Amino acid sequence: MLAKVKNASGRIGIFVVRYGHVSIARQLIGANCQLNLGARSRQAGNQTALHFAVRHGHEQIVRLLLEAGCDVNLVCIKLY
């Protein structure tokens, strides 16, 4: 399952964070995924996993990402 969620660049699966899959997010973080890469689609606006977790109210994942060293200073280009 982990291989299907982690893409070629090692970026954490944005959908895992977006939909609040804590156990899978924990596994990806443990597998050294790149936490600070943003989703590149036009609709995503270069949001990182942390942006998605905060936006969708997944407090436990936010905590995991912060403890893992996510950069809190990255800015996305999409405004809400």
Instruction: Read off the pLDDT of each residue in 12-31 and give the average, rounded to a whole number.
Output: 81
The predicted-structure confidence for 33-75, as pLDDT tens digits, reads as follows: 777 776 555 555 677 888 889 988 999 999 999 999 988 888 7
Of 2, 11, 20, 80, nearest in space to 48 by CA:
11
Q: Which CATH number fits domain 2-67: 3.40.190.10, 1.10.150.530, 1.25.40.20, 3.40.640.10?
A: 1.25.40.20
Q: Please give the Cα distance from 26 to 35 (Å, whole number).
A: 12
- pLDDT for 2 equals 42
Domain ranges of the chain: 2-67
In order of 3, 8, 79, the CA distances from 75 in angstroms are 28, 23, 10
Threshold 0.85, pTM exceeds: no
